[in-house]
Amino acid sequence: MSRLRPSSWITLALLAAGVALLLAVQPYAAGYGHFRRTLLAELLMQWKDATWQHGALVPFIAGCLVWRRRDEVARLPESSSRWGVVLIIFALLFYLAGFRANSFYCGYLAMMTLLAGASLWLQGLPRSRVLLFAWLMLGFMWPLPFLEESIGYKMRLIMVQTTGFVLNAVGVDSLVSGTALQSMPDLETGRRAGELFSVGIAAPCSGMRSLFALLVVGALFSYFRQRAMWRRAVLFSTILPIAIVANMVRILVLIFAAMAFGQRWAIGDAEKEVSAFHEITGIVVFLVALVLLQLASWLLNRACSGLGFRRARVVSRQVVSPAS
């Protein structure tokens, strides 16, 4: 990237020191306790949870994205935008509001706004626009546990009901009860309910755990596979249904394995620990999701190609018809 002026380096150093102070030094919120933790301490604690582990990789991903476009940024003129100062002031006020309200989420948004304002102030709008996607990717590093509580149970119900419908459609009689799924009793053979399989869709199996990681994967996939912004947005919007389908496939794999090799081997003991096969099938979610993302990208390209071909024919007819 192009060399910065000495004054710009001093400003950048001061901003970096300020971000470090607000993020890692200043005690910010208490969460559910009576003591305050810094934003960095909260991040490190949340990243230990499997649902948010991907957040630890996001800063490195964003850094690689910035490095990848360094030459393109260097070719643009260096400037400064007053809107950057406005955003910085707004971010500091929002940071203070979150401190007083004891809310980590306000701190997360304040730090994102502060980075955006610093970018606009130091290098201007053209360069900041090029690095917009890297900034958006940073949004995935902040844990949002309230989403698990608000939509996690709904996703579990969708998962159970959809899986039960598929099993009944292929001839495997199953019974849905809340967030549990089990085989139906068979009076002819004397088989009891749940003897073939009995699966309780717990919170980790609802799809929420893989959904947030798949959002990161889907954003990167959409960014590199599509060029137009609207096509990237369309492809990214398919992540939620793809996550549901991918998790449903995993549950079906577990159920059919339980029918073939037994409940304990395929799923494990719910009261103690899950089986090794249960853990390994976690990779199925990402494999199926990548295949479906590739399929969605291919269908989007075909649809756009067909639309472009039809438009070309209409234009050619409009050009030829006056001469004829």
The overall average pLDDT reported for the chain is 83
Provide the percentage of residues in the chain whose pLDDT is more than 70.
85
Whole-prediction pTM value?
A: 0.80
- Give CA torsion, residues 203, 207, 213, 215, to 10 deg: -130
The sign of the torsion formed by the CA atoms of 279, 50, 56, 89 equals positive
The whole-angstrom separation of Cα 100 and Cα 89 is: 17
| pLDDT score for 21 | 92
In this prediction, residue 160 has a pLDDT band, given cuts at 50, 70 and 90, of confident
| pLDDT score for 270 | 56
In this prediction, residue 176 has a pLDDT band, given cuts at 50, 70 and 90, of confident
pLDDT, tens digit, 9 for 90 and up, residues 235-261: 999 998 898 888 888 888 888 888 888
The larger pLDDT score, comparing residue 268 to residue 42, is at 42
Alpha helices in the chain (DSSP H): 6-20, 39-46, 58-68, 70-74, 82-101, 104-130, 132-138, 145-169, 208-225, 229-236, 239-261, 263-266, 276-280, 282-323
In this prediction, residue 45 has a pLDDT band, given cuts at 50, 70 and 90, of very high
Residue 313 predicted with pLDDT over 70: no
| pLDDT score for 178 | 72
Amino acid at 201: I
In this prediction, residue 125 has a pLDDT band, given cuts at 50, 70 and 90, of very high
DSSP labels, 182-195: EEPPBTTTTBPTTS
The whole-angstrom separation of Cα 52 and Cα 30 is: 19
- Average the pLDDT over each of 215-224, 243-252, 311-320 and give the range with the smallest value: 311-320
| pLDDT score for 309 | 46
The whole-angstrom separation of Cα 218 and Cα 224 is: 10
In this prediction, residue 317 has a pLDDT band, given cuts at 50, 70 and 90, of low
In this prediction, residue 324 has a pLDDT band, given cuts at 50, 70 and 90, of very low
| pLDDT score for 138 | 94
**Contact assessment for residue 68 and residue 59, using Cβ atoms and an 8 Å cutoff:** no
Residue 243 tokens, joined: 């996550």
The larger pLDDT score, comparing residue 5 to residue 221, is at 221
- Give the Å distances, CA to CA, from 64 to 60, 138, 193: 6, 12, 53
